């Protein structure tokens, strides 16, 4: 019986590249595995897979009765809907410890680093399995994406060393140039429907019983949003109502200016004041230096809801 | 600021030896750490520490405001009472994934092996830190205890290889003989009050909203219980009432015959029939081949409560 290796809902590059890289590793150590995904590829991820010659992993939503290796989260809200009927055999992740539980022992490779693929590289090292050049390429791109080319406060020395090692294996001389190319693909938002943009990197969190949806769009210049910001605001308002959410927040992150404008719709008009010490004005607040949802947004909100 | 490295409530040898071994490792890699414990040493653990020249770790129950590295579980019921006010920086464990959660990223070294100390040995290898002979000795004893000298179904090849490597570092030629000495200490139950015996290796589990307490006593010959079994039965009945538990189960494990007599007091008279396919008669049921609470008792009960 093969296990399925699958990342979170609304998969990002870490979830997709991680599933491919980990499934390959597991197959090398005689643990049959199939890479899978819970949603559509983002343009960034499609760019990475095409660049290194991979097909998208299997689209599969239901896992009842299957063995599953979870990539890039440990949260019920981000897992397959029927995960309770599956057997979780492992988790590789770099976020806070979420509310997934199991009834049998498993393996968890969880580290406070910038990207799950950095941990998957440690797993290759542990099992002494060589990484093929094209897999090294997608792993490297996932780390460059998650760490915003090393600019994010989540980036650690381990992530940088890992990218350097993977770039050598992949034969990529200028990995920062490839990273910028990737973020240019990510910045092409014109002509895309608001809902598609909002959902591109969207995660729901259960914060003390309140459902909080947080999206993020990372671009090279926030000016790309000028003509569509009103549409984005209308869309997160609709999304809040549809999902009975307490709040929906959308981070518009400028990776060059290194900060984020947050669009806010919430049952609590003081939410950003409480969490970030800065009031929301006209449904917006600029958060200087904020690049990371995981490190600079989620913990602060969780404290506000505690 | 030092982190505290601490195992579960009612600590066993894995929790105590693991806290000492992991705190030492952390100090070697410039992460100041203090080994701690949540309860009294068992006679077995006291024997191990004396054999290799260690004092008991610091007894400390409250961790509010502190950084904590959790050893040998990931369950709220087994953690310090005020763990929600502490920062969990890491977990090393070999059980099912429990209900501990965090609000910030952490490291988790969780593997489906027989003992947390086997994983701590992997951590030493990862960080390339030499294990001092006396620390190798206590780690080895913890693994021999948790795996019942390799007889438990939880024992893996990794545990056996690990004991062999640690025995060499510790300079112990006949580690199986040392293991038997350890289990003889564990088998000396005469003259000990029933409550002390029941609580010696006792864990509470939250099973679908029901509190289930499960104790285990591993001995070389079940005959040692003949004169005290009635006292043990009366005590688990009292313990059930005091803690508002749904059930209290006490496994009397014969490590030579390789099976367990389970003493049962439960709100559900069919519990062992549902979980193990065998009815409880006069408050007792013999479970042939059952040596491991973790692998042969807890998952089966959880299914019965699902």
Q: What is the pLDDT of residues A196-217, one digit of tens each?
A: 999 999 999 999 999 999 999 9
DSSP secondary structure of chain A: -PEEEE--SS--HHHHHHHHHHHHHHHHTT--EEEEESSPPPHHHHHHHHHHT-PPPEE----TTSEEEEES---GGGS-TTGGGSEEEEEEE-SB--S---SSB-EEEE-SSS-HHHHHHHHHHHHT-PPPHHHHHHHHHHHHHHTTTTTSTT--HHHHHHHHHHHHHHT-S-HHHHHHHHHHHHH--TTS-HHHHHTTTEEEEEETTEEEEEEEEEES-GGGGTTTHHHHHHHHHHHHHHTT-SEEEEEEEETTTTEEEEEEEES-TTHHHHHHS---BTTEEEEET---HHHHTHHHHHHHH-
DSSP secondary structure of B209-240: TEEEEEEEEEES-GGGGTTTHHHHHHHHHHHH
> How many angstroms separate the Cα of B279 from the Cα of each of B229, B276, B287?
19, 8, 10
Residue B65, SS3 per DSSP: coil
Short-list A177, A197, A175, CA closest to A187: A197
Q: Do B110 and A108 make contact, defined as CB atoms within 8 angstroms?
A: yes
Q: Do B111 and A111 make contact, defined as CB atoms within 8 angstroms?
A: no
- pLDDT in the model for residue B289: 96
The answer to whether the beta carbons of residues A264 and A285 sit under 8 Å apart is yes
- Among A96, A105, A153, A154, most B C-beta atoms within 10 A, so best to mutate, is A105
Give the torsion through C-alpha atoms of A284, A286, A290, A293, to 10 deg: 0
- pLDDT in the model for residue A154: 93
pLDDT above 70: percentage of residues in chain A: 100
Q: What is the pLDDT of residues B132-164, one digit of tens each?
A: 999 999 999 999 999 999 999 999 999 999 999
C-alpha span between A133 and B52 (Å, rounded)? 48
Q: How many Cβ pairs within 8 Å bridge chains A and B? A: 85
- pLDDT in the model for residue A11: 95
Residue B144 parent element (H or E): helix B133-146
- Mean pLDDT value across residues A246-275: 97
Q: State how far residue A301 is from chain B, nearest Cα, in angstroms.
A: 10
* pLDDT tier at A195, thresholds 50, 70, 90: very high
Measured between beta carbons, which residues in chain A are less than 8 angstroms from residue B108? 91, 97, 108-110
Phi, psi of B76 (to 5 degrees): -55, -40
- pLDDT in the model for residue A75: 95
Instruction: Give yes or no for A245 touching B (CB within 8 A).
Output: no
- pLDDT in the model for residue B1: 86
- Mean pLDDT value across residues A248-258: 96
C-alpha span between B263 and A215 (Å, rounded)? 53
Task: Return the residue of B nearest to A300 by Cα.
Answer: B103
The answer to whether the beta carbons of residues A63 and A86 sit under 8 Å apart is yes
- Spacing of C-alpha A30 from chain mean position: 28
Q: What is the pLDDT of residues B78-93, one digit of tens each?
A: 999 999 999 999 999 9
pTM for the whole thing? Answer: 0.90
- pLDDT in the model for residue B103: 87
The answer to whether the beta carbons of residues A234 and A242 sit under 8 Å apart is no
> How many angstroms separate the Cα of B82 from the Cα of each of B59, B62, B63?
15, 6, 6
Q: A56-86 burial, b for 16+ CB within 10 Å, e for fewer?
A: ebeeeeebeebbbbbbbbbbbbbbbeebeeb
Short-list A104, A94, A92, A23, CA closest to A57: A23
- Mean pLDDT value across residues B220-243: 95
- Comparing CB atoms, the residue among A91, A96, A111 nearest residue B103 is A96
Residue A190 has pLDDT above 90, yes or no: no
Q: What is the pLDDT of residues B1-58, one digit of tens each?
A: 899 999 999 999 999 999 999 999 999 999 999 999 999 999 999 999 999 999 999 9
- pLDDT in the model for residue A1: 86
Residue A72 has pLDDT above 90, yes or no: yes
Instruction: Give yes or no for A100 touching B (CB within 8 A).
Output: yes
Q: Do B96 and A112 make contact, defined as CB atoms within 8 angstroms?
A: no
Q: What is the pLDDT of residues A131-153, one digit of tens each?
A: 999 999 999 999 999 999 999 99
Q: Do B102 and A112 make contact, defined as CB atoms within 8 angstroms?
A: no
Please report the sign of the dihedral spanned by the C-alpha atoms of residue B23, residue B24, residue B25, residue B29. Answer: positive
Short-list A161, A110, A170, CA closest to A139: A170
Q: Tokens in use for A23?
A: 């499934």
- pLDDT in the model for residue B170: 98
Q: Do A97 and B99 make contact, defined as CB atoms within 8 angstroms?
A: no
Instruction: Give yes or no for B105 touching A (CB within 8 A).
Output: yes
Q: What is the pLDDT of residues B84-122, one digit of tens each?
A: 999 999 999 999 999 999 988 999 999 999 999 999 999
Q: State how far residue A29 is from chain B, nearest Cα, in angstroms.
A: 15
Instruction: Give yes or no for B157 touching A (CB within 8 A).
Output: no
Please report the sign of the dihedral spanned by the C-alpha atoms of residue B256, residue B257, residue B258, residue B264. Answer: negative
- Spacing of C-alpha A215 from chain mean position: 10
Q: What is the pLDDT of residues B267-285, one digit of tens each?
A: 999 999 999 999 999 999 9
The answer to whether the beta carbons of residues A44 and A14 sit under 8 Å apart is no
- pLDDT in the model for residue B293: 94
- Mean pLDDT value across residues A92-107: 95
Measured between beta carbons, which residues in chain B are less than 8 angstroms from residue A88? 97
The answer to whether the beta carbons of residues B153 and B292 sit under 8 Å apart is yes
DSSP letter for B118, please: H
Residue B62, SS3 per DSSP: coil
Q: What is the pLDDT of residues A15-31, one digit of tens each?
A: 999 999 999 999 999 99
Q: What is the pLDDT of residues B60-80, one digit of tens each?
A: 999 999 999 999 999 999 999
Residue B190 has pLDDT above 90, yes or no: no
C-alpha span between B181 and B226 (Å, rounded)? 22
What is the ipTM metric for this complex?
A: 0.89
Residue B85 pairs in a beta bridge with none
pLDDT above 90: percentage of residues in chain B: 96
């Amino acid at each position: 019986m093969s296990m399925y290796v699958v990342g979170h809902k609304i998969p990002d590059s870490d979830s997709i590249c991680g599933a491919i890289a980990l499934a390959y590793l597991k197959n090398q150590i005689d643990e049959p595995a199939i890479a899978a995904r819970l949603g559509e590829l983002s343009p960034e991820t499609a760019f990475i897979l095409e660049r290194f010659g991979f097909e998208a992993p299997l689209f599969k939503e239901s896992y009842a009765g299957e063995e599953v290796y979870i990539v890039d989260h440990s949260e019920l809200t981000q897992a397959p809907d029927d995960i309770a009927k599956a057997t979780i055999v492992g988790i590789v992740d770099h976020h806070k410890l979420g509310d997934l539980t199991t009834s049998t022992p498993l393996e968890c490779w969880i580290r406070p680093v910038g990207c799950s693929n950095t941990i998957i590289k440690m797993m290759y090292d542990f099992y002494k399995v060589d990484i093929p050049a094209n897999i090294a390429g997608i792993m490297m791109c996932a780390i460059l994406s998650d760490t915003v080319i090393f600019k994010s406060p989540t980036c650690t020395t381990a992530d940088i060393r890992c990218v350097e090692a993977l770039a050598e294996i992949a034969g990529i001389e200028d990995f920062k140039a490839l990273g910028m190319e990737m973020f240019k693909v990510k910045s092409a938002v014109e002509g895309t429907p608001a809902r598609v943009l909002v959902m591109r990197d969207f995660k729901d969190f259960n914060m003390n019983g309140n459902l909080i949806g947080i999206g993020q769009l990372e671009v090279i210049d926030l000016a790309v949003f000028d003509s569509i910001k009103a549409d984005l605001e209308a869309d997160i308002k609709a999304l809040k109502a549809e999902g009975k959410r307490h709040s929906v927040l959308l981070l518009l992150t400028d990776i060059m200016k290194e900060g984020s404008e947050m669009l806010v719709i919430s049952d609590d008009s003081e939410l950003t004041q409480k969490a970030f010490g800065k009031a929301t004005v006209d449904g917006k607040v600029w958060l200087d230096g904020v690049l990371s949802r995981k490190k600079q947004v989620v913990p602060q909100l969780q404290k506000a809801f505690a």
